[in-house]
Amino acid sequence: MNKTIITVVVVAVLAVGAYVAMQSKSNNSDDEKKLDSSKQTSETFDPKNPNFIMGTVSAVSATKIDFAEGANNYSAQISAETKLVKQAKDGKTIKIVDATLADFKDKQQIVVYFSDPPKAGVYQADKIQIIGQ
């Protein structure tokens, strides 16, 4: 009888622990989700409205980068929160390292990540990455 009670208690404790762990993983706040808006998953990706555009730099200023994708021209507004990165060779691998505005040159391939639709034709960039440097 005592072994049965102990077994039931152990199973109940494990079940409660598993339930609490599952709840804590599923309760991510909106702030945590917005911290890295450049990460789309198969669950959040909308092929008609991706959160990035790949293009070619056409002009760089202190506050924005103009770029083209095919026949379409875009502008990406840069703020203090915008993360600028580039690809860099590290032996046989490529890693992502911080970049500065001076690293962005005419005709470079870039990817601009954003969270919101453009305002007056200008995207507020969350991250801009130089591709294949």
Q: How far is residue 103's CA from residue 72's CA, in Å, rounded to a whole number?
A: 23
Q: Give the pLDDT confidence score for residue 121 in this predicted structure.
A: 84
What mean pLDDT do residues 125-133 have?
91
Over residues 69-80, the mean pLDDT reads 94
Which residues, including other chains, have CB under 8 Å from residue 75's CB and lie 6 or more apart? 64, 65, 66, 67, 121, 122, 123
Name beta bridge partners: 67: 57, 74
**Which class for 110: exposed (0-12), middle (13-18), buried (19 or more C-beta within 10 A)?**
buried
CATH for 52-130 is 2.40.50
Quote the CA–CA distance of 55 and 113 in Å, as a whole number: 11
Per-residue pLDDT reduced to its tens digit, 27-64? 544 434 433 444 555 566 666 667 999 999 999 999 99
